């Protein structure tokens, strides 16, 4: 999500830091900053906005030190402001730190540090780390970083400098990526190889709970406990463009494969040991949530499909009536809203004008608005009464994949939270679902292994005049999403349908060889989907069925091809079934020679009505 850079060398650090930050711009960010150690002084310059704004600010500073760190921030806790930009410092300004990740227990650490007299200047989880290191510092930065990180829960890759120790950067890593590398006369740290390939192609992936001391003549890796350790050496022969895609052919494929991590990040720090859910970004009072008597979900495109999945879950768990409406229709249909209506706006970019206008309209009608968005500080986030960030990280490809899965998961957490606050769900039932949610990252990684079989299916359907997708219950919004993915990147006509609707018209489209993708996973309407498969099969369809592990043999009696996904609570299945459908769209588009990342006529964020 964020980009981190550090360098210690014979030359002034700033030019190499800025070059490195430029090379990780593609990751997406909303503020940037640098800290340079010159003699016994740390100078920190940071700015909301893009690197141009930072470089303009730097023009009035003389930063000549040879030890420095830099950061491009993708906001998670606290909006994209100068104050929240990294690097962050301790109370004295003699320790500066950059961080990529999420500190889950930052609130309790911050409260303790404030009680001990530490003064905070930002809303970020990262600043807590700077003060925590300060609280352990007595002249040995490495020891202070070890002690501080042993108290931390969550994900981090950090670079830290101290005025008392020029020529040294201490780095450390857990979950978030950290690379180190050495060139003639300098040693570097970065969040990904892209930033370092200009200096060296031989790098080392630092491993979880390892600490690195970086000096100009090289680096030393130890465990968090101080034992000697080795990272994972790599030789990177990618060109810059390939490096930005981490070696994948396209951003979309990279983002499809980032989904286990994106879902893990969406869940990170949101369920507590006592089975309660802590959604700390939400700012609606619990009594307001308890007074809600109706829910509206508004969104566009894939976000709408995620919202439709959420409708089933919210109604089932909270017993609140849920209406869902495409955002561009919402405010023109004169919807019935009042102060006891909760409107949930779903948007990856947080800038989709149809959804933003729907949010403004809802608030004019005195409804309460919760936004589920990916981009921190975006317009929809700012316009809403409460926000749940999906923490999927920047999504570059126009076709939404990891953001969609993070929306599905984030909305499930929201549904569980609403049920918790309204006291309408047994803790043991909530616990079981949260346990299944935490199984998703590993299950998604498993489903990604279906790609070779999906590629074969893509070759079979790549030149069909149309492809139908059908499902029931939460399989229906997944069918809609599968059809959208296929048509938006391959330009092949596709339609998503409620399987029970086929016989009311659409089955007239079925003739010999028409591909029909059926979502036939284990759920209370599974047998009915099997019947729908037989209906279309009887009229010549080429049926591709996605079912639950263990049902393959039965489903294969009716379908031409079967893909199996792991068994999980039926309301969570969309987060698994969407993955082979994303891969199917990707493989068909690739066969058809399409520009997968930037399909024709489409924009990543539709900011016009
Ligand atoms: C999804 O693959 C499309 N790119 C599009 O439907 C998108 O989901 C829609 O425009 C909504 O965007 P948002 O989530 O940024 O509001």
Question: Tens digit of pLDDT for each residue in 386-445?
Answer: 999 999 988 889 999 999 999 999 999 999 999 999 999 999 999 999 999 999 999 999
In which band, very low, low, confident or very high, does the pLDDT at 102 lie, cut at 50, 70 and 90?
confident
In this predicted structure, what is the pLDDT of residue 238? Answer: 73
**Phi and psi of 273, rounded to 5°?**
-55, -30
In this predicted structure, what is the pLDDT of residue 177? Answer: 87
Q: Could you tell me which of 377, 347, 380, 579 has the C-alpha nearest to residue 478?
A: 579
In the reported structure, the alpha carbon of residue 347 is separated from the centroid of ligand 1 by a whole-number distance in angstroms of 7
Please give the mean pLDDT across all residues of the chain: 94
Given a cut of 70, whether residue 226 has pLDDT beyond it is: yes
In this predicted structure, what is the pLDDT of residue 454? Answer: 98
How far is residue 127's CA from residue 95's CA, in Å, rounded to a whole number? 11
How far is residue 336's CA from residue 146's CA, in Å, rounded to a whole number? 56
Task: Name which residue sits closest to atom 16 of ligand 1, judged by CA.
Answer: 347
> Could you give the 3-state DSSP secondary structure of residue 135?
helix
- The answer to whether the CB of 599 is under 6 A from ligand 1 is no
How far is residue 560's CA from residue 533's CA, in Å, rounded to a whole number? 10
- The answer to whether the CB of 400 is under 6 A from ligand 1 is yes
Task: Name which residue sits closest to atom 4 of ligand 1, judged by CA.
Answer: 399
In which band, very low, low, confident or very high, does the pLDDT at 76 lie, cut at 50, 70 and 90?
confident
- Token pair 């003064």: residue: 119
In which band, very low, low, confident or very high, does the pLDDT at 2 lie, cut at 50, 70 and 90?
confident
- The answer to whether the CB of 348 is under 6 A from ligand 1 is yes
How far is residue 133's CA from residue 584's CA, in Å, rounded to a whole number? 48
In the reported structure, the alpha carbon of residue 196 is separated from the centroid of ligand 1 by a whole-number distance in angstroms of 33
Tens of pLDDT, residue by residue over 21-40, are 998 887 678 899 999 999 88
Mean pLDDT computed over 580-588:
98
CB-neighbour burial class of residue 555 (10 A; exposed 0-12, middle 13-18, buried 19+): buried
In which band, very low, low, confident or very high, does the pLDDT at 583 lie, cut at 50, 70 and 90?
very high
- The answer to whether the CB of 355 is under 6 A from ligand 1 is yes
In the reported structure, the alpha carbon of residue 302 is separated from the centroid of ligand 1 by a whole-number distance in angstroms of 5
Mean pLDDT computed over 58-83:
90
> Could you give the 3-state DSSP secondary structure of residue 582?
helix
Task: Name which residue sits closest to atom 6 of ligand 1, judged by CA.
Answer: 301
Mean pLDDT computed over 165-172:
97
In this predicted structure, what is the pLDDT of residue 600? Answer: 82
- The answer to whether the CB of 301 is under 6 A from ligand 1 is yes
In this predicted structure, what is the pLDDT of residue 247? Answer: 82
Pocket mutation for ligand 1, best pick of 252, 255, 300, 345 (most atoms within 8 Å of C-beta): 300
In this predicted structure, what is the pLDDT of residue 1? Answer: 60
In this predicted structure, what is the pLDDT of residue 203? Answer: 92
In this predicted structure, what is the pLDDT of residue 280? Answer: 67
In the reported structure, the alpha carbon of residue 27 is separated from the centroid of ligand 1 by a whole-number distance in angstroms of 18
Give just the sign of the alpha carbon dihedral 260, 261, 263, 269: positive
Given a cut of 90, whether residue 279 has pLDDT beyond it is: no
Can you give the pTM of this predicted structure? 0.80
Given a cut of 90, whether residue 366 has pLDDT beyond it is: yes
How far is residue 67's CA from residue 14's CA, in Å, rounded to a whole number? 9
Mean pLDDT computed over 188-206:
90
Task: Name which residue sits closest to atom 3 of ligand 1, judged by CA.
Answer: 399
Q: What share of the chain is helix, strand, coil (3-state, %, to 5)?
A: 40, 25, 35
- The answer to whether the CB of 347 is under 6 A from ligand 1 is yes
| Active site amino acids | 2, 604
DSSP 8-state code for residue 206: P
Task: Name which residue sits closest to atom 9 of ligand 1, judged by CA.
Answer: 301
In this predicted structure, what is the pLDDT of residue 77? Answer: 73
Q: Are 60 and 23 in contact (CB under 8 A)?
A: no
- The answer to whether the CB of 590 is under 6 A from ligand 1 is no
In which band, very low, low, confident or very high, does the pLDDT at 6 lie, cut at 50, 70 and 90?
very high
In the reported structure, the alpha carbon of residue 605 is separated from the centroid of ligand 1 by a whole-number distance in angstroms of 7
Pick the more confident residue, 351 or 362. Answer: 362
Domains along the sequence of the chain with CATH: 3-242 (3.60.20.10), 245-438 (3.40.50.10490), 448-591 (3.40.50.10490)
How far is residue 267's CA from residue 280's CA, in Å, rounded to a whole number? 12
What is the signed CA dihedral for 364, 367, 372, 378, rounded to 10 degrees? 20
Q: Could you tell me which of 339, 232, 223 has the C-alpha nearest to residue 289?
A: 339
Number of Cβ within a 10 Å radius of residue 167: 15
Pocket mutation for ligand 1, best pick of 606, 607, 609 (most atoms within 8 Å of C-beta): 606
How far is residue 128's CA from residue 131's CA, in Å, rounded to a whole number? 5
Angle at 265 between CA 263 and CA 267, to 5 degrees: 75
- The answer to whether the CB of 401 is under 6 A from ligand 1 is no
- The answer to whether the CB of 302 is under 6 A from ligand 1 is yes
Which pairs from 439-442 meet CB under 8 Å and 24+ separation? 439/566, 439/568, 440/263, 440/267, 440/409, 440/568, 440/572, 440/575, 440/576, 441/260, 441/261, 441/263, 441/264, 441/267, 442/260
Given a cut of 70, whether residue 463 has pLDDT beyond it is: yes
Beta strands 202-205 and 466-471, pairing class: unpaired
In the reported structure, the alpha carbon of residue 501 is separated from the centroid of ligand 1 by a whole-number distance in angstroms of 26
Which pair of tokens denotes residue 552?
């393959």
> Could you give the 3-state DSSP secondary structure of residue 569?
coil
In this predicted structure, what is the pLDDT of residue 315? Answer: 98
In the reported structure, the alpha carbon of residue 449 is separated from the centroid of ligand 1 by a whole-number distance in angstroms of 26
The alpha helices in 199-324, defined as continuous H runs, are: 240-244, 251-257, 259-267, 286-291, 301-318
Residues contacting residue 84 through CB under 8 Å, at least 6 positions apart: 31, 48, 73, 75, 78, 122, 123, 124
In which band, very low, low, confident or very high, does the pLDDT at 342 lie, cut at 50, 70 and 90?
very high
Given a cut of 80, whether residue 272 has pLDDT beyond it is: no
Q: Helices 402-421 and 574-591, interaxial angle, to 10°?
A: 160
Given a cut of 80, whether residue 377 has pLDDT beyond it is: no
CB-neighbour burial class of residue 427 (10 A; exposed 0-12, middle 13-18, buried 19+): exposed
């Amino acid at each position: 999500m964020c980009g981190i850079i550090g360098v210690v060398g014979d030359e002034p650090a700033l030019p190499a830091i800025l070059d490195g930050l430029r090379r990780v711009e593609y990751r997406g960010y909303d503020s940037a900053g640098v800290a340079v150690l010159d003699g016994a002084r740390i100078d920190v310059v940071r700015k909301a906005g893009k690197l141009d704004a930072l470089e303009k600010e730097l023009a009035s500073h003389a930063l000549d030190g040879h030890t420095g760190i830099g950061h491009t921030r993708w906001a998670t806790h606290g909006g994209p402001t100068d104050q929240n930009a990294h690097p962050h410092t301790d109370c004295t300004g003699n320790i500066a730190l950059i961080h990529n990740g999420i500190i889950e227990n930052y609130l309790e650490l911050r409260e303790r540090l404030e009680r001990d007299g530490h003064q905070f200047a930002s809303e970020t989880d990262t600043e807590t780390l700077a003060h925590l290191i300060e609280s352990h510092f007595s002249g040995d930065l490495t020891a202070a970083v070890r002690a501080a990180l042993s108290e931390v829960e969550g994900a981090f890759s950090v670079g830290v400098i101290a005025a008392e120790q020029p020529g040294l950067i201490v780095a450390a890593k857990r979950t978030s990526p950290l690379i180190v590398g050495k060139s003639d006369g300098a040693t570097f740290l970065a969040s990904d190889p892209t930033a370092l390939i200009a200096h060296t192609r031989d790098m080392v992936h630092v491993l979880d709970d390892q600490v690195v001391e970086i000096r100009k003549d090289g680096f030393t890796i130890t465990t968090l406990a101080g034992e000697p350790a080795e990272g994972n050496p790599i030789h990177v022969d990618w060109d810059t463009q390939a490096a930005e895609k981490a070696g994948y052919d396209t951003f979309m494929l990279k983002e499809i494969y980032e989904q286990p991590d994106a879902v893990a990040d969406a869940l990170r720090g949101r369920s507590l040991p006592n089975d309660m859910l802590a959604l700390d970004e939400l700012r609606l009072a619990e009594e307001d949530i308890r007074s809600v008597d109706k829910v509206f979900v508004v969104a566009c495109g894939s976000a709408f499909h995620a919202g439709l999945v959420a409708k089933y879950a919210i109604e089932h768990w909270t017993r609140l009536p849920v209406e869902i409406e495409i955002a561009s229709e919402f405010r023109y249909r004169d919807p019935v809203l009042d102060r006891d209506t909760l409107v949930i706006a779903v948007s990856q970019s947080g800038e989709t004008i149809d959804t933003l206008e729907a949010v403004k309209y809802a608030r004019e009608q005195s409804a309460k608005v919760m936004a589920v968005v990916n981009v921190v500080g975006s317009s929809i986030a700012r316009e809403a009464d409460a926000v749940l960030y999906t923490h999927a990280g920047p999504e570059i490809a126009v076709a939404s994949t990891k953001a969609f899965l993070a929306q599905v998961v984030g909305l499930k957490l929201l549904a569980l939270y609403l049920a918790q606050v309204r006291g309408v769900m047994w803790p043991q039932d909530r616990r079981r679902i949260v346990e299944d949610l935490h199984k998703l990252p590993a299950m998604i990684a498993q489903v990604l292994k279906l790609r070779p079989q999906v590629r074969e299916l893509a070759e079979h359907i790549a030149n069909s005049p149309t492809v139908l997708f059908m499902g029931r219950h939460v399989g229906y919004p997944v069918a809609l999403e599968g059809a959208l993915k296929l048509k938006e990147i391959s330009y092949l006509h596709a339609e998503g349908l409620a399987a029970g609707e086929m016989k009311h018209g659409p089955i007239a489209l079925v003739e010999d060889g028409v591909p029909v993708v059926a979502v036939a996973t284990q759920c209370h309407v599974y047998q009915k989907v099997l019947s729908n498969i037989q209906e279309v099969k009887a009229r010549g369809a080429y049926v591709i069925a996605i079912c639950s592990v263990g049902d393959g043999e039965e489903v294969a009696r009716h379908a031409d091809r079967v893909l199996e996904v792991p068994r999980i609570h039926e309301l969570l299945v969309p987060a698994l079934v969407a993955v082979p459908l994303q891969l199917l769209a990707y493989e068909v588009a690739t066969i058809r020679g399409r520009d997968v990342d930037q399909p024709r006529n489409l924009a990543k964020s539709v900011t016009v009505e």
